[in-house]
Structures are given as structure tokens and as C-alpha cells.
């Protein structure tokens, strides 16, 4: 999982349109083993790990996946590549593998633990952190060759870990456990209940900045923080059994992989995790891992060797057809914006405008398919405009600049 910094470059028009060719494509993985995690180096290069020591790699955007020899039969739960050559995979029984040649060769490293390791992340070329059962946190200072145990200040299982920079990291796990470090993983401070806002198990975590982060978990739990984890707020709108993994392609665009029963589920945000829309309720097995290499490119992996790939952001949203399109202009705007809505079904529409904190600042009914909205009372900044009917909704960014 790689750390990304997104720079917003605005042109005269920002339009996010739902199109018929926006989709997730199932790829041929060559295995029926359960796949748990994916690490994307760029849009072409990615590595997937799973049960029975499975390691798959693509260098052509998933057109083909090559099985690599892991040298172990242990299930592999997590993987992280810092570049195209240097990677670490972790899994059952404290197993840690490392490669320095893109997976042509994998060597077993000594972890000094038999606890299952669920996730791993490179902080920089030399430093990596792995987390697992019984509050296990391991730290390596030599690209994964040797590992040292860290005091996590919890005995709960830790399932996900993410670093937004070389110093600032967060790990999540069972019973709403959240621990955080600000010194590169040397020491960890508990942010557990009631600060996390839930006693449900947490499985995935991702920070887009040192302060703004998302944690996902049991019963469709989505938590969001804007202050580095001092306060976590639950995000409404997700119906799922488990949300296993979360990844962002930039500071605003993210995807969650999960399931309802045995069916895979994908959720997407385009406002930094304030709101989430369903992309699919897949009829095939659960989706367990997600990795993004940009706002439009992602891989999702799961049971029965399933790999899904999108190069257009996977923008298909449940209940939304290709018949309704929305243009907002000008953008950036000054005092007035024009909404041009291709609403051929003549559905009743509502306009909602949210600020960057997710607060509703404007709500009104739209009386016609093209109309002007006065925004002179809103301050300069980035907003999220939501147009919704009783069957679909669409969100677009709006910048007010005077």
C-alpha cells in the first residue's frame, strides 16, 4: 500500500458522469485460492497474496497474472511494496517473506513470533511495520530482514495498519481497537473505546493526511477522523456484513471492499470519506482486499481467486442508470452556478450542498432540468454537490472562488 499526496488541479469544468462503460472487469487469476490483499506500485504493477502461500504479480495492469514461488504453504494475509522491486508479505504462523527483485525470489525472514500477521506496510525504503494477533506489532529497520517486537499497548488482535508519513501511523483491530504512533512505530498510544466510537471489530484503515483517516469493519462500520484519531465519527449509509479493506487513490477518492453474506460489495467516496455510494453488490464471492494506484485505477481481490480491475474509477453506482447526467458550470464558481441535468425520467430531484466537514449548508428542490443556483452566501472553498431522486444520486465537487 503506497502513500499518496493529491494536488487538486482545477480546470474550467469538473464533471463526473456515470457512463455505461464504467465498470469493474473480472480478470483471470489462475487460482481458486482465497486472495486477501493487493499492493499497487503503479497502474501496471501490482502483487496479490492469499492462501497456501499464493503470490501473483502483474506488470501489465492485470491483463495477465504470473504465479510466483513463495517457498511457503502458509496463508499470506498482507503485502506491501515500496517500489517495483522491494516487497514484504506476511501471514499465518508469523510468516514473513521479503523480495528485492520484484518477487522473482522470495526469502523467509525471522519474525520471532508465531502469531498470525494480518497486515504490513513499508514506511520508507528501510522501515516496515507488521501487525497481527494478540496486539503484535513488529518493526524492521533493514527492509524486512530482521524484525523487533514493539509495545502496542493492547492485547487485541490488530488487523490493519497504515502510515500517512514516516512518523505517523495507525493500526486497527478487534473490539474497536485503534492504536497510533507519531515516531515511526517505536511507541504506540491507544485510541480505543470510547474514542473510536465502536466496540465492533475493525479490519481496514487508511489515512489521506496525517489527520484525516477512515477505518472500516464489522456490520458495515465506517469511522472517520479529521484530527488524527482523537475523535472518530461513524459514517452512515453502509449496509454490509463486513467491510474488510479501504484504499484511496488521492485525498478525495477512495474505495472499500467488503461483503454481504457471501456476496462481494464495493463502496466509493469522492469527498474524502464523508459520504459513500454503493458501486456493486457482486453476486460472486466476498471481496477482501482493495488497492488503488490513482483515482481511477484499482484492484479488488477475494475468495475463489477473484480479481476485479477498473481503470475508470468503477463509477457504476447501484440504482443509478446511464440516463441521468449532470453538468455544473462554471466551476470554479463566483456567485451563480448553472445545473444542467439530463433527467429523461422527470424524477423529483433534491439539491444538497455539503462543506468539507460534511455539514449540509444548502438543500432545495429542483424544479426544472436546467436552472441557476445562487451561491453568494457561501464562503470560498471546496464543496460537494449532491443531486438525488428516490432512485439514484450523484455527487460532484464544486469550488467557490472569488
Could you give all domains of the chain from N- to C-terminal order, each with its CATH number?
25-310 (2.130.10.10), 324-400 (2.60.40.3080)
Asked whether residue 161 carries a pLDDT value surpassing 90, the answer given is yes
User: Where on the phi/psi map is residue 40: left (φ > 0), alpha (ψ -120 to 50), or beta?
Assistant: beta
User: What are the DSSP E strand ranges found in 282-392?
Assistant: 287-292, 298-302, 307-310, 324-329, 336-343, 349-354, 360-366, 370-374, 381-388
What local confidence, expressed as pLDDT, does residue 80 receive? 98
Asked whether residue 119 carries a pLDDT value surpassing 80, the answer given is yes
DSSP label at 324?
Answer: E
Comparing C-alpha atoms, which of 236, 316, 248 is closest to residue 282? Answer: 316
Higher pLDDT, 236 or 264: 264
Comparing C-alpha atoms, which of 169, 166, 170 is closest to residue 196? Answer: 170
What local confidence, expressed as pLDDT, does residue 8 receive? 25
User: Where on the phi/psi map is residue 358: left (φ > 0), alpha (ψ -120 to 50), or beta?
Assistant: left
Residue 346: pLDDT band with limits 50, 70, 90: low
Asked if 134 and 157 touch (Cβ cutoff 8 Å), the reply is: yes
Q: Which range among 158-162, 171-175, 286-290, 348-352 shows the weakest confidence by mean pLDDT? A: 348-352
Higher pLDDT, 328 or 22: 328
Q: How far is CA 215 from CA 253, 264, 320, in A?
A: 15, 19, 26
What local confidence, expressed as pLDDT, does residue 239 receive? 64
Which of the given ranges, 2-11, 198-207, 231-240, has the highest pLDDT on average? Answer: 198-207
Asked whether residue 131 carries a pLDDT value surpassing 70, the answer given is yes
> Who's near 131: CB < 8 A, 6+ residues apart?
117, 118, 119, 120, 137, 138, 152, 158, 159, 160, 161, 171, 173
Q: How far apart are CA 173 and CA 154, in angstroms?
A: 10
- Other Cβ atoms less than 10 A from the Cβ of 11: the count is 7
Q: How far apart are CA 54 and CA 32, in angstroms?
A: 10
Give the pLDDT mean for 242-259: 94
Residue 325: pLDDT band with limits 50, 70, 90: low
Q: Which range among 42-46, 48-52, 183-187, 229-233 shows the weakest confidence by mean pLDDT? A: 229-233
What local confidence, expressed as pLDDT, does residue 62 receive? 93
Q: How far apart are CA 30 and CA 307, in angstroms?
A: 10
What local confidence, expressed as pLDDT, does residue 9 receive? 25
Q: How far apart are CA 237 and CA 222, in angstroms?
A: 9
Q: How far apart are CA 92 and CA 52, in angstroms?
A: 10
Comparing C-alpha atoms, which of 364, 386, 381 is closest to residue 275? Answer: 386
Asked whether residue 111 carries a pLDDT value surpassing 60, the answer given is yes
Asked if 301 and 287 touch (Cβ cutoff 8 Å), the reply is: yes
Comparing C-alpha atoms, which of 106, 239, 80 is closest to residue 163? Answer: 80
Asked whether residue 135 carries a pLDDT value surpassing 70, the answer given is yes
Q: Which range among 172-186, 204-218, 283-297 shows the weakest confidence by mean pLDDT? A: 283-297
Q: How far is CA 389 from CA 340, 347, 349, 351, 352, in A?
A: 15, 6, 5, 9, 11
- Other Cβ atoms less than 10 A from the Cβ of 325: the count is 16
Give the pLDDT mean for 162-176: 95
What local confidence, expressed as pLDDT, does residue 392 receive? 67
β-strands 254-260, 263-269: how paired? antiparallel
Asked whether residue 365 carries a pLDDT value surpassing 70, the answer given is yes
Asked if 381 and 355 touch (Cβ cutoff 8 Å), the reply is: yes
DSSP label at 8?
Answer: -
The length of the chain, given as a count of residues: 402
Which of the given ranges, 242-246, 363-367, 368-372, has the highest pLDDT on average? Answer: 242-246
Comparing C-alpha atoms, which of 242, 214, 244 is closest to residue 229? Answer: 214
Backbone angles phi, psi at 93, to 5 degrees: 65, 25
> Who's near 115: CB < 8 A, 6+ residues apart?
94, 132, 133, 134, 136
Amino acid at each position: 500500500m503506497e502513500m499518496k499526496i493529491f494536488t487538486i488541479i482545477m480546470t474550467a469544468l469538473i464533471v463526473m458522469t456515470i457512463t455505461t462503460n464504467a465498470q469493474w472487469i473480472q480478470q483471470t487469476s489462475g487460482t481458486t485460492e482465497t486472495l486477501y490483499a493487493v499492493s499497487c506500485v503503479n497502474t501496471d504493477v501490482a502483487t496479490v497474496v492469499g492462501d497456501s502461500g499464493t503470490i501473483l504479480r502483474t506488470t501489465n495492469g492485470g491483463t495477465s497474472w504470473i504465479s510466483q514461488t513463495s517457498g511457503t504453504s502458509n496463508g499470506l494475509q498482507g503485502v506491501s511494496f515500496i517500489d517495483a522491486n522491494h516487497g514484504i508479505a506476511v501471514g499465518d504462523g508469523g510468516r514473513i517473506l521479503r523480495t528485492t527483485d520484484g518477487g522473482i525470489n522470495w526469502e523467509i525472514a525471522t519474525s520471532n513470533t508465531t502469531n498470525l500477521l494480518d497486515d504490513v506496510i513499508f514506511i520508507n525504503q528501510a522501515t516496515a511495520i507488521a501487525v497481527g494477533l494478540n496486539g503484535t506489532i513488529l518493526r524492521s529497520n533493514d527492509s524486512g530482514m530482521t524484525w523487533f517486537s514493539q509495545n502496542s499497548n493492547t492485547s487485541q488482535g490488530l488487523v490493519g495498519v497504515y502510515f500517512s508519513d514516516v512518523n505517523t501511523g495507525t493500526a486497527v483491530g478487534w473490539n474497536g481497537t485503534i492504536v497510533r504512533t507519531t515516531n515511526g512505530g517505536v511507541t504506540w498510544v491507544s485510541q480505543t473505546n470510547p474514542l473510536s466510537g465502536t466496540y465492533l471489530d475493525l479490519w481496514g484503515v487508511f489515512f489521506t493526511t496525517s489527520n484525516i483517516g477512515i477505518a472500516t469493519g464489522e456490520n458495515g462500520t465506517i469511522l472517520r477522523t479529521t484530527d488524527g484519531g482523537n475523535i472518530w465519527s461513524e459514517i452512515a449509509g453502509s449496509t454490509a456484513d463486513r467491510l474488510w479493506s479501504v484504499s484511496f487513490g488521492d485525498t478525495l477518492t477512495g474505495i472499500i471492499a467488503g461483503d454481504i453474506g457471501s456476496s462481494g460489495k464495493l463502496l466509493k467516496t469522492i469527498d474524502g470519506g464523508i459520504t459513500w455510494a454503493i458501486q456493486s453488490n457482486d453476486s460472486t464471492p466476498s471481496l477482501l482486499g482493495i488497492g488503488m494506484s490513482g483515482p481511477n485505477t484499482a484492484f479488488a481481490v477475494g475468495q475463489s481467486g477473484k480479481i476485479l480491475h477498473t481503470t475508470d474509477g468503477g463509477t457504476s453506482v447501484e440504482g443509478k442508470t446511464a440516463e441521468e447526467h449532470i453538468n455544473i458550470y462554471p466551476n470554479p464558481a463566483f456567485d451563480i452556478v448553472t445545473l444542467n441535468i439530463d433527467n429523461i425520467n422527470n424524477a423529483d430531484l433534491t439539491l444538497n450542498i455539503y462543506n468539507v466537514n460534511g455539514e449540509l449548508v444548502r438543500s432545495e428542490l429542483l424544479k426544472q432540468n436546467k436552472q441557476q443556483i445562487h451561491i453568494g452566501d457561501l464562503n470560498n472553498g471546496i464543496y460537494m454537490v449532491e443531486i438525488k431522486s428516490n432512485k439514484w444520486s450523484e455527487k460532484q465537487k464544486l469550488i467557490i472562488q472569488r
